Amino acid sequence: MTNFPCCRIPLEVSSSPNNLTYVESMYHLIEIISRRLDPDSIANATSKQIFENCQAVEDLRKKLRPHMQDKNQCKSAVDRLQYFAVRLHTSFVISVACRPALRRDVAIDPVEKQTLAQKCKNHLIETVRMFLAMHQLSVIPTRSWAFTYHGLSSALLLGIIADTKADPEIRQLEGDLIAALSATAAKDVDSPETHVMRTDKDIELSGPLSRALTALKHIYENGSLSVPNRKRKMEGQRTPFPPLSPNGGQISVPLLPGQFNGIPASQSAPDPREDAALAMAEMQNGTSIQDMSRRPESMQMQPNMGMDNLGLGVDMQYMAPMDVFDSIWVGTFDTLHLLFEMGRLTNMF
């Protein structure tokens, strides 16, 4: 719970409530997060509260100094970085506020739910755009956990809720973000032409960030996290071996009722849920449907890419978008952690 009393936000001598600096804008954004976006508030938010939360962030944008409201007002590289940074973080916060609309178990009017879902998608796109725009100017986005988390998690959720292959813009954003966060992807000959600055100084991703990047690559290559049935049939519907733990021993795989060690209870009546379980087992075993051994060495997954327990291959028709997203991040989003990282952003420029 983060809804706690806080002290008055300080203003610089040259500032006013409607002429906030970058630092002041971050303080105000942190206050919005702490008061409105703690887990309990998000889980129980009504559509009216969600719209009010979004409006609070949009109202904050109107109180910023001119160069952070209009890119044409920027007079220096720092001005442009601040413009991109503010847009990135405010867009991300708005998308977080709208996430309840991506769940099945929320009592929101269908029309309002669709409106909020579209609003979430639009701000996810804006978050990724701003991350890439910043990356063109500076290495800051790939040196900050908050920037990286906001950009990568937004691209991943966008890939889950959108038809990647049918939307050239989203596919381009995904490809560019993969290139920005992965030196391997940036150098891969099979990658599309990117519009980002290529560097060998990309940050080392681990844990949830690594799993998310792996999932994003899977979406980019396959169009979704689901593995088409036809691909499994081409492989003879083979039964995957039980996955191995890091020390080489076998580990258990979450199975559906009627399954044992990844073997379907009935071979005569295929069930899409069984297909999902098989795909899950394959990915947990570190072997995707595509034969990774035949791929160029530069594209083969490294041991630290977080394939274990990634959760790829789940049939998404049985899961709401946020359930798929949460299964990859495994509860990584922590409001207090986010507030701490956002606090560090006040000293970024």
Q: Can you state the angle between helices 335-345 and 77-98, rounded to 10 degrees?
A: 170
For the full predicted model, state whether its pTM sits above 0.85.
no
Provide the pLDDT for residue 187: 42
- 251-265 core/surface letters (b: 16 or more CB in 10 A; e: else): eebebeeebeebebe
Provide the pLDDT for residue 76: 96
Provide the pLDDT for residue 345: 59
Helices (H) and strands (E) in the chain, counts: 14, 0
Provide the pLDDT for residue 278: 39
Give one DSSP letter per residue of 118-170, joined into a string.
Answer: HHHHHHHHHHHHHHHHHHHH-SGGGG-HHHHHHHHHHHHHHHHHS-GGG-HHH
Provide the pLDDT for residue 166: 83
If residue 336 lies in a helix (H) or strand (E), which one and from where to where?
A: helix 335-345
Provide the pLDDT for residue 26: 92
Provide the pLDDT for residue 204: 59
CB 255 within 8 A of CB 289: no
C-alpha 68/C-alpha 74 separation (Å) is: 8
Provide the pLDDT for residue 146: 86
Whether 62 is in a domain gets the answer yes
Whether 11 is in a domain gets the answer no
Whether 162 is in a domain gets the answer yes
Provide the pLDDT for residue 131: 97
Whether 151 is in a domain gets the answer yes
C-alpha 133/C-alpha 310 separation (Å) is: 29
The encoded tokens of residue 238 equal: 């083979």
CA-only gyration radius of the chain, Å: 22
Whether 149 is in a domain gets the answer yes
Whether 268 is in a domain gets the answer no
How does DSSP classify residue 310?
A: -
Domain range holding 127?
22-223+328-345
Whether 267 is in a domain gets the answer no
Whether 170 is in a domain gets the answer yes
pLDDT tens across the length of the chain (349 residues): 444 455 555 555 565 668 899 999 999 999 999 889 888 888 889 999 999 999 999 999 999 999 999 999 999 999 999 999 999 999 999 999 999 999 888 889 999 999 999 999 999 999 999 999 999 999 888 888 889 999 999 999 999 988 877 889 999 999 999 998 875 334 443 445 555 555 544 455 667 788 888 889 988 988 777 655 444 444 444 444 444 444 444 333 333 333 333 334 344 344 443 444 433 334 334 333 343 333 333 333 343 343 344 544 445 556 778 878 877 776 545 554 555 555 555 556 6
Cross-strand pairs, 64: 20
Q: How many domains, in total, are found in the chain?
A: 1
- 135-162 core/surface letters (b: 16 or more CB in 10 A; e: else): beebebbbebebbbbbbbbbbbbbbbbb
